[in-house]
Amino acid sequence: MWLKNTWYVACTRKELDALGDRPLGRTICHEKMALFTGSDSQVAALEDFCPHRGAPLSLGRVCNGHLQCGYHGLQMGVDGKTVEMPMQRVRSFPPIRAFPVTERYGFVWVWPGNAAQADVALLPTLDFLEHPDWAYGGGLYHVQADYRLMIDNLMDLTHETYVHANSIGQPELEETPSTTSVENGQVITQRHLSGIQAPPFWQMAMRAQGLDHQASVDRWQICRFTPPSHVMIDVGVALAGHGGFHAPSHLKAYSVVVDFITPETETSHWYHWGMARNFKPKDTELTQQIRTGQGRIFGEDMEMLQRQQSNLSHWPERRLLSLNIDAGGVKARRLIEQHIAKESRELEL
Closer Cβ to a second copy, 255 or 309, answer by number: 309
CA angle 263, 222, 229 (to 5 degrees): 15
Residue from 301, 303, 292, 300 nearest 139 by CA: 292
- Phi first, then psi, for residue 31 (nearest 5°) are -95, 120
| Residue with Cβ nearer a second copy (144 or 216) | 144
Residue among 162 and 334 whose Cβ is closer to a second copy = 162
Tell me the C-alpha distance between 25 and 59, whole Å: 8
Binding mask 239-278 for a second copy (x = CB under 8 A): ----------------------------------------
Residue closer to a second copy by CB (options 314, 345) is 314
Closer CB to a second copy, 6 or 68, in the complex = 68
Cis peptide bond upstream of 132, omega within 30: no
Mask of contacts with a second copy, 144-173, x by CB under 8 A?
--------x---x-xx-xxx----------
Does position 54 interact with a second copy (CB under 8 A)? The reply is yes
Count other Cβ atoms within 10 Å, centred on residue 343. 16
For the CB of residue 315, give the shortest distance to a second copy in the complex, in Å: 6
State which of residues 5, 12, 68, 189 lies at the interface with a second copy (CB under 8 A).
Answer: 68
Least Å from the CB of residue 310 to a second copy: 8
DSSP E strand boundaries for the chain:
8-12, 24-28, 31-37, 43-47, 61-63, 66-68, 75-76, 82-84, 98-99, 101-104, 107-110, 135-143, 179-183, 186-197, 216-226, 230-239, 252-265, 268-277
Task: From 110, 153, 160, select the one nearest 263 (Cα to Cα).
Answer: 110
Binders of a second copy in range 21-50 (CB under 8 A): 32, 48-49
Interactions with a second copy, residue window 280-339 (CB under 8 A): 303-304, 307-308, 310-312, 314-315, 318, 320-321, 323-326
Which residue from 130, 172, 175, 346 is in contact with a second copy, where contact means CB under 8 A? 175
CA dist., res. 209 & res. 138, Å (int) = 22
Nearest to 181 by CA among 345, 8, 327, 15: 327
Q: Indicate the helix (H) or strand (E) that contains 308.
A: helix 284-314
Rounded distance between C-alpha atoms, residue 1 and residue 275, angstroms: 28
Question: Which of the ranges 54-62, 131-139, 191-199, 277-285 carries the binding residues for a second copy, by CB under 8 A?
Answer: 54-62
Site for a second copy in 71-110 (CB under 8 A): 71-73, 85-88, 93-94
Q: Which of 86, 69, 84, 71 is nearest to 34 (CA)?
A: 69
Contact footprint for a second copy (CB under 8 A) = 32, 48-49, 51-56, 59-60, 68-73, 85-88, 93-94, 152, 156, 158-159, 161-163, 174-175, 177, 303-304, 307-308, 310-312, 314-315, 318, 320-321, 323-326
